[in-house]
Each structure stands twice: as C-alpha cells, then as structure tokens.
C-alpha cells in the first residue's frame, strides 16, 4: 500500500503552507522587523546625539581652556602687583633704615668728635705735668 498523494491533498498542504506563511508573517516577522527598524532608528538617533555631545564637549573644552588662560593671566598680574608692592615696601624700609643708620652714625661721629675734643683738652691740661714728670725722670738719669 503505497499512498500516492492526490491533487486534493497536495492542494490542502499548499493552502496550509500559505496560511502558515501568512500567520508567521503576521505574528512573527512583521513585529520582529518592526522592532529591528525601531532599534536601528534609535541607534542612529543616539549616534547623532553622541556627535552633538562631542561638538558640545569641544565647545565646553575650549571655553574651559579660555577661562583657565584668563585665570593664569590674572594670577600672573596679581603676583606681579604683589611683587611690586613688596619691592616698594622693602625699598621704603631700606631707605628708612639707611636714614636711621646715617643719623646714628652722625650722632656717633659728633659724640666721638666731642670726646676727641675733651681728650685733647684733658691732655693739654696735663701736658705741663707730663713735662715736669719727664724732666724729673731725665734729671735722675
């Protein structure tokens, strides 16, 4: 007993095959393809967003570099002003100290001159005593 397929059975298998293809297309392939298309669109959108973010990052980086450069310039200016002020203060102090030392030196020199004059006067007053003492010692010899 061999079963030879009849045209009705073949037609029925063909109809079932077409119904199966239709159902698979409707239930499986269209939702799967739709999901894949949405995923591709989402990936493209995210890619464009990333490119936009990269451009924003570049702009922000340049802005940050500009801000840092300005801050460095301001710091250098502030440092320069502080150094100039410190130099001026140091020069004023040095000048004050020089004046003070000059005054002290002048006072010391005047005091020394006074003592010199006093010593000269003292020696002049004692010269006759030295002469007498010297003559007495020479006389003993």
Phi, psi of 5 (to 5 degrees): -65, 135
Using pLDDT thresholds of 50, 70 and 90, give the confidence band for residue 20: very high
Q: Is the full-model pTM beyond 0.75?
A: no
- The CA-atom distances, in angstroms, between 88 and each of 26, 42, 85, 92, 104 are 91, 67, 5, 6, 24
- Report whether pLDDT(129) > 90: no
Q: What is the mean pLDDT of residues 20-29?
A: 92
d(CA 52, CA 46): 10
């Amino acid at each position: 007993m061999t079963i030879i397929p009849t045209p009705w059975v073949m037609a029925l298998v063909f109809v079932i095959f077409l119904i199966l293809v239709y159902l698979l297309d409707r239930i499986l392939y269209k939702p799967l393809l739709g999901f894949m298309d949405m995923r591709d669109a989402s990936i493209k959108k995210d890619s464009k967003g990333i490119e936009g973010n990269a451009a924003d990052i570049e702009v922000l980086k340049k802005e940050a570099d500009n801000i840092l450069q300005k801050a460095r310039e301001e710091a250098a200016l502030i440092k320069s002003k502080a150094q100039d002020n410190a130099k001026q203060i140091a020069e004023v102090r040095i000048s004050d100290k020089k004046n003070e030392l000059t005054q002290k030196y002048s006072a010391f020199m005047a005091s020394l001159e006074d003592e010199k004059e006093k010593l000269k006067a003292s020696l002049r007053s004692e010269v006759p005593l030295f002469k007498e003492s010297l003559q007495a010692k020479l006389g003993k010899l």
